[in-house]
């Protein structure tokens, strides 16, 4: 669709160069981590879109081979997350339109087998959890274990746990547990040496809305929605990159020039400059910073909403 | 090397090596005492564990064996690979902790009884993770706690902790 306007003046680039740029985008790496999956699929869809167009010429054949290989990978990598499953389905339907019939059929078969398997695993997991997750007899948990568990908690969760049962209340109200929290919130100057009760002191600070408490509070909210984003490397979902749509990336890969960016219908005015610079940076040698990378422990905690970048 | 047989409460036997058993402080101290009093012995030592069920014992032993293997890897590999290895261990532990609350409870009891400090740490961490950010009602539901407080008491506690319950 994008091509219709400018394919008369823009010949497609040399196939070799196109393939190099495609390799640089490292889709195989992006597809294998769930948090990059969506964006990678969107860009692949746009690529299919362009290649399926009327004027694809000699780029078409080598690029389609790569694309179908990556689509197969996408089907393999698709995890249980609904968002990813949906985009995977639309990627396959896009692929079916672009690829020769036999190959398209094969991909569809693969997708079907894969989703059947996923559904089976799902229902098995649900059955298992229903079987096992009958109220455990935590009632008689020994004091020292409960104490060790409560020691791991932040003050807000600790206070909530204290309301759960008598034993938990007794254990959670033990005063030594609250001393470090007071130390974290109040400055040493304003802290009395030997207060009546550390817990009381902390409660007062909390009710009084102490300044450092506000920080703890919002941090807790963030933690509940999980993950702090600030200290992560720049990536495709970073704000300065959001203005580059998947289509622009796809156009860049196929045509090799950024000129189309200003022609493309959905970027205009101020966005252009940042879009182009973002793309430049993105296609620069530091390609391994293209996609968001996480330490393994963060993966499970990824919130759904934070990943919906909402481009286009 | 001497083998140790751990017998679960339903009579199922599990054979483990001394190396893996050394992670269970209860078994290790028992072994030491025996060796001190009777000297070296090649017969397998049978340890009956009346309050650990078979599946939990299996899980605990899986942990011991795996930790043992990781420890050996740690000492064998150069310093450059340590970070990578730590990541691997964390990933494995996360996988290992994917159990229901009931299983987790039995696991923590077994770890307490057998005195496996590292497993105990891991379990308490996982339990705290399940409490974090939940309301009192959710905590009660998750851990199957019966409401042992009278309504007045509960109201009292709620009021004193109101700052945390918004």
Residue B131 is nearest to which of A137, A145, A161, comparing CB atoms? A161
B127 with A133: Cβ contact below 8 A: no
Which one, of A14, A10, A51, lies nearest residue A250 by Cα?
A: A51
Q: Measure in Å the smallest separation between the Cα of A251 and chain B Cα atoms.
A: 38
DSSP-based three-state secondary structure for B47: strand
In whole angstroms, what is the distance from residue A270 CA to residue A255 CA? 23
Residue A111, Cβ neighbours under 10 Å: how many? 23
Number of domains in chain A: 2
| ipTM of the shown complex | 0.82
Of A193, A224, A255, the position where a domain reaches its end is A224
Q: What number of H helices and E strands is found in chain A?
A: 18, 0
Same domain, A241 and A129: yes
- Residue A128: inside a domain, yes or no? yes
Judgement on whether residues A72 and A205 belong to the same structural domain of the protein: no
**What percent of chain B is modeled with pLDDT above 90?**
3
**Domain range for B124:** 3-132
Q: Tell me, what's the pLDDT at A281?
A: 45
Tell me the pLDDT band of B75, cut-offs 50, 70 and 90: confident
- Which pLDDT belongs to residue A25? 72
Q: In what order do the strands lie in the sheet with B13-17?
A: B13-17, B3-7, B45-48
Q: Does B154 touch chain A (CB under 8 A)?
A: yes
pLDDT at A271: 42
Task: For residues A259 and A11, give the distance between their C-alpha atoms in angstroms, rounded to a whole number.
Answer: 13
pLDDT digits (tens, 9 = 90+) for B9-42: 887 888 888 888 888 888 888 888 888 777 666 6
The total of structural domains in chain B comes to: 1
- Residues A121 and A15 placed together within one structural domain of the fold: yes
- Is residue A167 assigned to a domain? yes
Closest Cβ opposite residue A223 in set B102, B133, B160: B133
**Considering only alpha carbons, which residue of chain B is nearest residue A200?**
B160
Calpha distance A293→A70 (Å, rounded): 20
Q: Is residue B87 part of a domain?
A: yes
Identify whether residues A118 and A250 lie together within a single domain: yes
Asked whether residue A191 falls in the same domain as residue A160, the answer is yes
Query: Closest Cα partner for B17 from B30, B34, B35, B5?
Result: B5
Mutation target vs A (from B105, B112, B117, B136; most A CBs, 10 A cutoff): B136
Distance set, CA B146 to CA A161, B60, B150 (Å) = 13, 28, 11
- Residue A95: the pLDDT is 87
Contact A224 B133 (CB under 8 A): yes
Say how far apart CA B146 and CA A276 lie, in whole Å.
61
3-state secondary structure of A218: helix
Nearest-by-Cβ selection for B136 from A139, A152, A160: A160
Domain of residue A200 covers: 138-224
- The contacts of residue A217 (CB under 8 Å, 6+ apart) are A156
Residue A11 shares a structural domain with residue A90: yes
**Smallest Cα distance from A137 to chain B, Å:** 7
Q: Please state whether beta strands B45-48 and B13-17 pair in parallel, antiparallel, or not at all (unpaired).
A: unpaired
Contact A163 B146 (CB under 8 A): no
- Based on its alpha-carbon atoms, the radius of gyration of chain A, rounded to whole angstroms, reads 27
Cα separation, B139 vs B158, in Å, equals: 14
Instruction: Give the separation between CA A108 and CA A102, rounded to whole angstroms.
Output: 10
Chain A: closest CA distance from residue B107 (Å): 12
CATH number of the domain residue A173 falls in: 1.20.1280
Decide if A312 is inside a domain.
Answer: no
Series of mean pLDDT values for 10-residue runs along chain A (312 residues) = 40 73 76 71 85 72 85 77 75 85 85 80 64 53 85 81 85 83 64 72 69 48 34 39 62 63 38 45 39 36 34 34
Same domain, A77 and A15: yes
- Nearest Cα neighbor of A156 from B166, B129, B147 is B166
Confidence of residue B80 (pLDDT cuts 50, 70, 90): confident
Q: Return the sign of the alpha-carbon dihedral for residues A150, A156, A157, A158.
A: positive
Q: Are residues A55 and A112 in the same domain?
A: yes
Give the model's pLDDT for residue B144: 80
Residue where a domain stops, chosen among A224, A252, A275:
A224
Asked if residue A252 and residue A195 are part of one domain, the reply reads no
Taking the CA of residue B50 and the nearest CA in chain A, the distance in Å comes to 18
As a whole number of angstroms, the distance between CA A182 and CA A201 comes to 7
Burial category of A310 from C-beta neighbours within 10 Å (exposed 0-12, middle 13-18, buried 19 and up) = exposed
Composition of chain B by helix, strand, coil, percent to 5: 65, 10, 25
In A, minimum Cα distance to B163 occurs at A207
Calculate Rg over the CA atoms of chain B.
Answer: 20
Q: Which residues share a beta bridge with B4?
A: B16, B45
How many Cβ contacts (< 8 angstroms) between chains A and B?
Answer: 130
- Residue A297: its pLDDT value, please? 30
DSSP character string of B86-110: HHHHHHHHHHHT---HHHHHHHHHH
Tell me whether residue A266 is in a domain: yes
pLDDT of residue A196: 73
- Please give the pLDDT value at position A180: 74
Dihedral (CA of A174, A179, A184, A190) sign: positive
Residues 6+ apart with CB under 8 A from A152: B124, B125, B127, B128, B129
Q: Are residues A16 and A63 both part of a single domain?
A: yes
Element (H, E) at B26: helix B25-38
- Write phi, then psi, for B3 (nearest 5 degrees): -100, 155
Q: Which of A194, A209, A224 delimits the end of a domain?
A: A224
How many angstroms separate the CA atoms of A62 and A19, rounded? 8
Do A92 and A155 reside in the same domain of the chain?
A: no
Contact criterion met (CB below 8 Å) for A165 and B148: yes
Interface of B with A in 62-81 (CB under 8 A): none
CATH of residue B35: 3.30.710.10
Q: Are residues A99 and A174 in the same domain?
A: no
Q: How far apart are CA A103 and CA A87, in angstroms?
A: 19
């Amino acid at each position: 669709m994008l091509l219709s306007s400018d394919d008369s003046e823009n010949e497609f680039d040399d196939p070799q160069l196109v393939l190099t740029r495609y390799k640089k985008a490292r889709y195989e790496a992006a597809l294998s981590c769930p948090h990059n999956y969506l964006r990678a699929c969107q860009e692949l869809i746009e690529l299919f879109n362009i290649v399926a167009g009327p004027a694809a010429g000699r780029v078409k054949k080598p690029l389609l081979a790569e694309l179908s290989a990556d689509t197969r990978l996408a089907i393999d990598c698709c995890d249980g997350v609904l968002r990813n499953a949906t985009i995977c389905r639309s990627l396959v339907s896009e692929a079916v339109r672009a690829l020769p019939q036999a190959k398209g059929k094969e991909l569809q078969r693969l997708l079907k087998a894969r989703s059947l398997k996923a559904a089976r695993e799902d229902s098995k997991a649900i059955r298992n959890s229903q079987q096992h997750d009958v109220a455990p007899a935590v009632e008689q948990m020994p004091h020292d274990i409960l104490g060790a568990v409560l020691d791991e908690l932040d003050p807000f969760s600790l206070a909530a746990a204290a309301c759960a049962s008598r034993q938990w209340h007794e254990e959670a109200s033990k005063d030594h547990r609250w001393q470090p929290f007071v130390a974290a919130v109040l400055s040493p100057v304003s802290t009395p040496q030997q207060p009546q009760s550390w817990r009381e002191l902390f409660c007062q600070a909390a009710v009084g809305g102490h300044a450092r408490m506000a920080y703890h509070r919002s941090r807790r909210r963030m933690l509940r929605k999980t993950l702090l984003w600030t200290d992560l490397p720049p990536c495709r979902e970073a704000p300065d990159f959001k203005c580059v749509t998947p289509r622009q990336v796809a156009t860049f890969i196929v045509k090799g020039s950024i000129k189309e960016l200003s022609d493309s219908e959905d970027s205009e005015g101020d966005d252009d400059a940042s879009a182009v610079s973002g793309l430049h940076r993105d296609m620069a040698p530091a390609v391994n910073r293209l996609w968001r990378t996480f330490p393994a422990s963060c993966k499970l905690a990824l919130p759904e909403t934070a990943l919906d970048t909402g481009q286009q | 090397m001497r083998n140790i047989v751990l017998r679960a409460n339903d009579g199922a036997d599990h054979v483990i090596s001394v190396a893996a058993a050394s992670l269970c402080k209860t078994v290790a101290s028992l072994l030491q005492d025996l060796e001190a009093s009777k000297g070296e012995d090649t017969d397998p030592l049978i340890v009956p564990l009346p309050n650990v069920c078979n599946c939990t014992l299996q899980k605990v032993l899986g942990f011991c064996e795996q930790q043992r293997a990781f420890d050996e890897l740690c000492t064998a590999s150069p310093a450059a690979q340590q970070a990578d290895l730590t990541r691997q261990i964390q990933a494995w532990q996360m996988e290992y902790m994917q159990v229901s609350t009931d299983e987790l409870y039995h696991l923590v009891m077994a770890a307490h009884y057998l005195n496996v400090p590292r497993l105990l740490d891991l379990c308490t961490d996982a339990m705290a993770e399940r409490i974090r950010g939940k309301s009192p009602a959710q905590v009660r539901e998750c851990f199957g706690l019966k409401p042992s407080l009278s309504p007045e008491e509960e109201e009292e506690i709620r009021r004193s902790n109101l700052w945390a319950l918004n």
